Structure 1
Amino acid sequence: MSWQKTAWLLAGDQVCLAIMAQSWSLSVLGWVPGIITMLLAAIFFYFTSMTMWRFIMKHPEIKDICDFGYYAFGKNTWAYHFTSFMLLANNIMLIGFHVLTGARVINTLSDHSLCTVVFSVIVTIMGIVMSLPRTLNHISFMSMFSAACMGIAILLFMVFAGIEDAPLYGYLGDYPKLGPVKTYALTPSGTTFVAAMNAVLNITFLWVPQILFPAFIAEMERPEDFPKSLAVLSVLSIILFIIPPAIGFRYLGQYSTAPAFGSLGVVVYKKASFAFVIVPTLVIGVIYANVSAKYVYRHVMRGSHHEHSNTVIGWGVWAVVQTVIWIIAFIFAEVIPSMGDFLSLLGAAFDSFFGFIFFAVAYWQMNKLDLFGGLSRSVKTLFHAVTFVVGLFLLGPGLYAACEAIIDDYSGSTRPAFSCANIAI
């Protein structure tokens, strides 16, 4: 891929429904803590991504995040296997999140005309078919349409939120039960640690896509041009990850939901904006499926000429691997009760490693003989030390908060596994 196509692929992965969960995060944290968390996440994202790229330039044999883990931890085989498990678990759960999202979109548009499980099956089959191309170069074209559709959905949401008289509802009650729409600078009193931590995890989840970056760089014509793609993504992300959620919080206030489409007061507005989400839902699932399937396929076909050839056996194995991945993802989609739980669990269990810990270790591996050689190097070393501590915090208290949220959901009135219940927003 050229750096331009890589930028489109990155945008297709990042311009996603999780953006629309950020208004809820702001409603939990308030303006000041929420915006500060977003800006800090942006800073960590850019500099850790550059560290990752520099490390890969020193080890051009790296093909995916598993190879990255292997070299970052000193060519440790256990690190490779651990990272492999994390890669597949993270990606398959993310695909499951998109299966759930797809079913939710169709539920909303059709007024729950069929059992939700049927809608999930439909989305899964569509995902399998769209995942059949084997190169990311082909998928980058899909990403252009994906980013455009999500952009339209976000734009429509902002317009509708601004022109409607009032929101429809929030998690704590229908409008106007919680009073007139209001925003607040600081975190409201009475906010629990679990709620605040899950809001933070929703933000960090959106800013941590680096698990796919080594696979993207491996398929670039000129991997040294990756910083250009990253710069495009960073500017786009800062705009889309802060401005639309801020506008959403401004007009929805304490009635913000995740995704924010659910809070729109006019049903036609909700359907018109949410309909466009089906495209990025499928395409992003396909991107994660492609990276996951490549890892499995490469190990299954290792040493065989089928691995890099257009043979019946090669394509047959590829199709089987994709099918198995999407079926497992479908099961996850039916078992985990809510979209917010998905995001929080992924943010704590996986983003702590793939957004923070791994890159702090990689920095140490590259510079362990000269960690404090001058002011610039000392500042970078301190930054990566903080990065490591943040990763540990997300992994420890963050994972606790995510698990508590899932337990709370199951103890309340949440849909059971493999349910036909309506999950429309």
Structure 2
Amino acid sequence: MAAPDYADEKQEPVIKASADTYGTDYDGHSSINTISALVAEDHGHDIQLRTMSWQKAAWLLCGDQVCLAIMAQTWSLSVLGWVPGIITMVVAGILFWITSMTMWRFIMKYPQIKDICDFAYYACGKSKIAYEFAGFMLMANNILLIGFHVLTGAKVLNTLSDHSLCTVVFSVIVTVMGVVMSIPRTLKHVSFMSMFSATCMAIAILLFLVFSGIEAAPLYGYYGDYPTDGAVHTYAFPIAGTTWVGCMNAVLNITFLWVPQILFPTFISEMEKPQDFPKSLAVLAGISAFLFIVPPAIGFRYLGQYATAPAFGSLGVVAYKKASFAFVIVPTLVIGVIYTNVSAKFVYFRVMGNSRHAHSNTVIGWGVWMLIVIVSWILAFIFAEVIPSMGDFLSLLGAAFDSFFGFIFFAIAYWQMHQGKLFAGVTRSVMTIVHAFVMICGLFLLGPGLYAAVEAIMADYATTVTPAFSCANVSL
């Protein structure tokens, strides 16, 4: 395996003082010149990566964000209630925009950044330890997330077929489909899939909202079948008996949805004009703000305390459940492909280094790529089969990894860009305070959040768990 080049330090741009509305210190012309050189070098290869327009990047972002996790937000509202739930969603959305823009500005300062590992390397003062630590977290996070999508795909197929086959067989089918769809090496091609992914998820959400509104009552909730827990009702604050661990997991469920930045550096590195990324981000932020708040709120209105995660499971009419849940199979596969592409590239370039195979259509190059993709999906398949509750492990991921990838790294990057001038002017001072709050949020997720996630996992293991590689029915 080749040693990492740590974003090729020889290509670092010369940074001079200039300021925009956020007070970002970098010479725009210097960065653009570096980007132009990187694009020209890339376009000299057989396999060209830096080819995405901002429109295709927007589709890719939406394909990643418009996902099944949206349908778990209704459950979060049922735990937190209207006031804490909506406040958490809005604050998470605002911090998402601010941290994403901080990331972009930092990458414009160092355009040679190729992934979140390079970002951590530069943000932490060119620390090789930070690079390797981020690399480990990237692979662990992505493999587990791909495994979650293997499990979700098996759940969809179980639900649609009334468990006509062993669940392991359905998981194998999803894994094979994922491998085939992961063959393209450029995100430009994956962004085409994302168009269909986002559209299918939007249809699934729309159907759920219609069905939940027209049905007489939900089927069941975590406290029993309707109406064992009384008539459907909503509430402003957590109901009596709600535990701190339950509230914390609901918060982690929300932050998990709003923290996709682990993929953003890779997306930006494959844009032909990375300086246009804010346009793509604006499209994503607008769509996310609507989908992450409005449908879950409507779902909570009709499901109340009977909300499950995902909310499809609460629908009382089986035909309604199948009709809406069926569309989830497309985003399940495509999002798995996106995470596979990002993690496979990290391993691929560590293996291939700067050899001609890295960017050329050679048998060795394609063979290594396919091997990495296959191994990634096999590992994900194994995790999907042996972990008893992927939902709890997603909370663990949100606490252990998203605390860094969504908050801590960006607070550090902001300090790196502006150290010595953190309070130079009103705007800079306000943003410094905001990023201090970002750091506090990250540390809170890493501390109490991680504790709550571990407690939930321990509670699951203390009860009956599904055996590894089980044929048990996992239908909604």
TM-score (norm 2): 0.89
- Partners of 1:12 and 1:342 lie apart in 2 by 22
Contact kept? 2:73, 2:254, Cα under 8 Å:
yes
1:187 aligns to what?
Answer: 238
The answer as to whether partners of 2:96 and 2:258 remain within 8 angstroms in 1 is yes
Name the amino acid aligned to 1:70. Y
Q: Which amino acid in 1 is paired with 2:108? A: M
Residue of structure 2 in register with 1:309 after alignment: 360
* Letter in structure 2 aligned against 1:148: T
Q: Say if 2:384 and 2:390, in contact at 8 Å, map to a contact too.
A: no
Is residue 72–residue 365 contact of structure 1 (8 Å, CA) maintained in 2? yes
**1:309-363 deviation per Cα after TM superposition (whole angstroms, max 9, x unaligned):** 0011111110000001111111111122224213211211111000000000000
Does the alignment pair 1:258 with 2:309?
yes
1:194-219, Cα deviation, whole Å (9 max, x unpaired): 10000000000000000000000000
Matched residue of 2:240: which SS? coil
CA contact (8 A) 1:97 1:342 kept: no
**1:173 equivalenced with 2:224 (yes/no):** yes
One-letter amino acid matched to 1:196:
C
Deviation at 1:115, TM superposition (A): 1.1
Residue of structure 2 in register with 1:67 after alignment: 118
Between the aligned partners of 1:81 and 1:211, the Cα distance in structure 2 is: 15
**Root mean square deviation of aligned Cα:** 0.7
Match status 1:341 vs 2:392:
yes
- In 2, Cα distance between equivalents of 1:79 and 1:184: 44
- Distance across 1 between alignment mates of 2:129 and 2:391: 32
- Looking at structure 2, the residues matched to 257 and 414 of structure 1 have their Cα atoms a distance apart, in angstroms, of 19
Aligned to 2:187: 136
1:118 matched to 2:169? The reply is yes
Residue 27 of structure 1 is matched in structure 2 by 78
Query: For residue 224 of structure 1, what is the aligned residue in structure 2?
Result: 275
1:104-139 Cα deviation digits (max 9, x unpaired): 000101111111111111111110110000000000
1:389 counterpart = 2:470: no
Q: 1:375 aligns with which of 420, 426, 433?
A: 426
Is 1:404 equivalent to 2:404 in the alignment?
no
Q: Does 1:206 align with 2:206?
A: no
Deviations 1:271-292 (A, max 9, x none): 0000000000000000000000
SS class of match (1:74): coil
2 CA distance for matches of 1:6 and 1:42?
Answer: 19
Identity of aligned residues (%): 77
Kindly report which structure 2 residues correspond to 1:25-104, keeping only aligned pairs within 5 A, or say none. 25-104=76-155
Distance 1:254 1:314 in 2: 53
Structure 2 residue aligned with 1:279: 330
Unaligned runs of 5+ in 1: none
Which residue is equivalent to 2:382?
331
Residue aligning to 2:370: 319
Matched with 2:209 is 158
Structure having the larger proportion of residues in helix = 1
What secondary structure does 2:103 align onto?
helix
CA distance in 1 between partners of 2:190 and 2:136 (Å): 24
1:122 and 1:393 map into 2 onto residues whose CA distance is: 39
Counterpart secondary structure, 1:211: coil
Moved over 2 A (4+): none
Judge conservation of contact 1:3–1:228 (CA < 8 Å) in 2: yes
Structure with larger Rg:
2
Residue 374 of structure 1 deviates from its aligned partner by 1.6
Question: How far does residue 304 in structure 1 lie from its aligned partner after superposition?
Answer: 1.4
User: 2:412 is matched with which residue?
Assistant: 361
2:361 and 2:325 mapped to 1: Cα distance?
39
Query: Partner of 1:205: helix, strand, or coil?
Result: helix
Cα distance in 1, alignment partners of residues 447 and 472 from structure 2: 33
Quick one: which amino acid aligns to residue 269 of structure 2? A
Displacement of 1:412 after TM fit?
Answer: 1.8
SS of match in other structure, 2:423? coil
Give the conservation status (yes or no) of the 8 Å contact 1:72–1:361. Answer: yes
Q: Deviations over 1:120-179 (max 9, x none)?
A: 111111101100000000000000000000000000000000000000000110001000
With 187-196 and 73-82 compared, the bigger mean Cα shift is at 187-196
Task: For 1:35 and 1:321, locate their aligned partners in 2 and report how far apart those are by CA, in whole Å.
Answer: 41
Secondary structure of the residue that 1:182 maps to in structure 2?
coil
Q: 2:107·2:119 contact (CA, 8 Å) conserved in 1?
A: yes
SS, match of residue 236 in structure 2? coil
Give the CA deviation at 1:418. 1.6
Quote how far apart the aligned CAs of 1:417 are: 2.0
